[in-house]
Chains A and B, each alone.
Chain A
């Protein structure tokens, strides 16, 4: 009897041992998989950060030597001559960004307000789909369309047409971010304003929009950062111009065009200018993005 029990116990403990051993092996494998998964996500994150750092470093190393006072204030010189700058491209870029902003900001904020107010209608569904398609549209196609609509009508390449092409690219970005921001503004604020007898349009302009200001500003800065480096839509619109021009009806130079034209030229001096322009452009976009981040964090309104 006792033996039998002892035997049984032995059998059971043996089994247990087997099971435990088997489990432990499996658990080790699972722990390995767990760690592998965790470290591959970290590796991915590190990879993208290092890649960005390396691109920035590389552009800075190539471009920083070209940047000096002359680079910022002089016009490009003919090939063969040393020196020269991209002052006309800097001015052109700024003017076209300004033009694009003037056109795109009011329109896209209006679209964003509409989408956040009329969430469920058929029209808002189509507008939302349209914005998504527009956002995914190749920038060169937008350039061609503006070429046909504006450049051919005006009879010449111009800064204005470049601004219009860039404005079309900004539109979906700002409209979407405005919509998302305004959706976060609580309905109770609108009620509070309406209950004071404030008309609908003033409620939107003076209560709802200011409450979403930081998000809208962030969207605008990101949109500007996005278009500042666009080359394709400018190829057939603002075209480029070796001289200084602030006339929006005339062809205008811009930093991305300088990079495109000079980098593909055979002259060493022009290559340097292109690297300098690249560095300047990256710097501008970096500053815009960082400012956007700071604004969205610091100015955030808690409801």
Chain B
């Protein structure tokens, strides 16, 4: 059980009066990629935004149950601490337009007012960019604006920015939905390599992508967790009829 990084217990989520997630129970193991699948509106994004408490930016939301990072309930920690330990990458690449590549990567430290020596910063920037497979492409242009990069490079820059904080978990919310096939393949390859450093949860609409990159898979439907298991098992011998129908394209 020591392997469990995240434990979601009896978790329900409400937007005002409507319930978006119903009694979710889910545990995530260390250094694995877990794909969260399901048709539109099933609560995938809601679930991962609840994990680093980003849902609190939206008014009128309410949660029940608990989400534990190791032994600590994240709803009892300060959201600022939670978000430093659980990083997030969004659908659309969103590098800071006012900052160059170097500053974008180190932004988590600079913006939080964490003082570091220049040499320490250099190490973090290089390490993060190497992990996100961007170092080779940008090492000569570190002081250029991040918004000059291509979409796929921008997304890898955002991954580097999240990795620089050395998070325990990285949440990816459909990270390739705004990218072309080549950039998507690059990101997928990257995710497979990154699991050595960090535990990942990835929301995806693309079943092929889930099958290619994840170790475990979760199927959500209408706010309920229908099935959770090894990706291979879930794709070949789904236990629930709804999972099977979704995977075979009967709905979704």
Contacts and interface: CB of A to CB of B under 8 A. Distances in A.
B97 A302 contact: yes
A189 B97 CA distance: 9
A247 interface: no
B111 A196 contact: yes
A193 interface: yes
A66 interface: no
18 contacts: A188-B92, A188-B94, A189-B94, A189-B96, A191-B90, A192-B94, A194-B57, A196-B87, A196-B165, A198-B80, A199-B80, A199-B112, A202-B113, A206-B111, A207-B98, A210-B98, A301-B97, A303-B147
Interface in A204-222: 206-207, 210-211, 213
Given A191-B54, A191-B90, A196 B97 contact: no
B96 A194 contact: no
A136 interface: no
A203 interface: yes
Contact of A195 (B52, B81, B95, B96): B52
Interface of A: 186, 188-199, 202-203, 206-207, 210-211, 213, 301-303
B88 interface: yes
B98 A198 contact: no
B161 interface: yes
A207 B111 contact: yes
Interface of B: 52, 54, 57, 80-84, 87-88, 90, 92, 94-98, 107-108, 110-113, 147, 158, 161-162, 165
Contacts of B54: 191, 194-195
B98 A301 contact: yes
Q: Which of B82, B98, B147, B162 has the most CB of A within 10 A?
A: B98
Contacts of A207: 96, 98, 111
Nearest to A301: B97
A295 to B, nearest CB: 15
Given A197-B108, A202-B112, 20 more contacts: A186-B94, A189-B94, A192-B94, A193-B107, A195-B54, A195-B87, A195-B88, A195-B90, A196-B83, A196-B111, A196-B162, A197-B84, A197-B112, A202-B111, A203-B111, A206-B111, A207-B96, A211-B98, A301-B98, A303-B147
